[in-house]
Amino acid sequence: MNYIILDLEATCWKDRNHNKQNEIIEIGAVKIDGSGNIESEFAEFVKPKLHPILSDFCKELTTITQAEIDAADTFDKVISKFIDWIGIDQPYALGSWGFYDKTQFEKDCDLYQLDKGWLKNHISVKHQYAQITNLKKPVGMDRALKIENLTLEGTHHRGIDDARNIAKIFQAYFGKWEV
């Protein structure tokens, strides 16, 4: 069994009272093998279809530049590479910090009329972490790292960096996750 610990970044705006659909702009993921070791990583930017120009708020939050997005492939091409990298012919489980990432993948798959079946085996590391550690309620990834005396490495709100940090928490409790 491979465990795909992932984090997405998506288009965003300071004013949340808008009718704009968020779209994935970065997929970051770490593949952990059945022994709990990191096998490989996946990191790709994605060019949005509906709103290809990033808001200033989004660029500031994620540190992703417009030039990086302009040079990126569209979701349909990137997701094809991602699914190939996962290796869906082998047993795997997806894990993210909460359910947002799975929901955003579903929305982008719908936008491009792509199959969503590969998303079925997903867990919220955030919610299971709260259960495993007997927290009263789920906490943010940065708080969980502090609880574990782990350092937040890289840039928070960057897909690959957040995936690496979530993977550290996942590895710390390897074998305790319900998939």
For the chain, give every domain's residue range: 2-172
Query: Are the CB atoms for 3 and 100 separated by under 8 Å?
Result: no
Query: Are the CB atoms for 28 and 43 separated by under 8 Å?
Result: yes
**Distant-in-sequence, close-in-space partners of 168: CB < 8 Å, separation ≥ 6:** 145, 148, 150
Triad 135, 141, 145: Cα angle to 5°: 80
Query: Are the CB atoms for 133 and 172 separated by under 8 Å?
Result: no
- Calculate helix-pair angle for 125-132, 159-172, nearest 10 degrees: 30
Q: What separation in angstroms does the CA of 175 have from each of 33, 47, 88, 94? A: 12, 36, 21, 15
Candidate list 9, 23, 26, 44, residue with the active-site label: 9
Q: Indicate if 157 belongs to the active site.
A: yes
Report the predicted TM-score, pTM, of the whole model to 2 decimal places.
0.96
- Residue 172 is predicted with a pLDDT of 97
Q: Give the strand pairing for 2-10 and 24-32.
A: antiparallel
Q: What separation in angstroms does the CA of 95 have from each of 89, 92, 102, 177? A: 18, 10, 9, 10
Whole-number average pLDDT of the chain: 97
Q: Tell me the residue ranges of DSSP E strands in 71-150.
A: 73-74, 92-96, 122-124
Candidate list 51, 127, 156, 157, residue with the active-site label: 157
Domain 2-172 carries which CATH code?
3.30.420.10
Q: Indicate if 156 belongs to the active site.
A: no
- Residue 42 is predicted with a pLDDT of 98
Span 15-49, pLDDT tens digits: 876 789 999 999 999 999 999 999 999 999 999 99
- Residue 2 is predicted with a pLDDT of 97
- Answer yes or no: is pLDDT of 150 > 90: yes
**Distant-in-sequence, close-in-space partners of 136: CB < 8 Å, separation ≥ 6:** 130
Roughly how many angstroms between the first and final C-alpha of the chain, as a whole number? 10
DSSP annotation string for 12-46: --S--SS-PPP-EEEEEEEEE-TTS-EEEEEEEEE
- Answer yes or no: is pLDDT of 107 > 80: yes
- Answer yes or no: is pLDDT of 146 > 90: yes
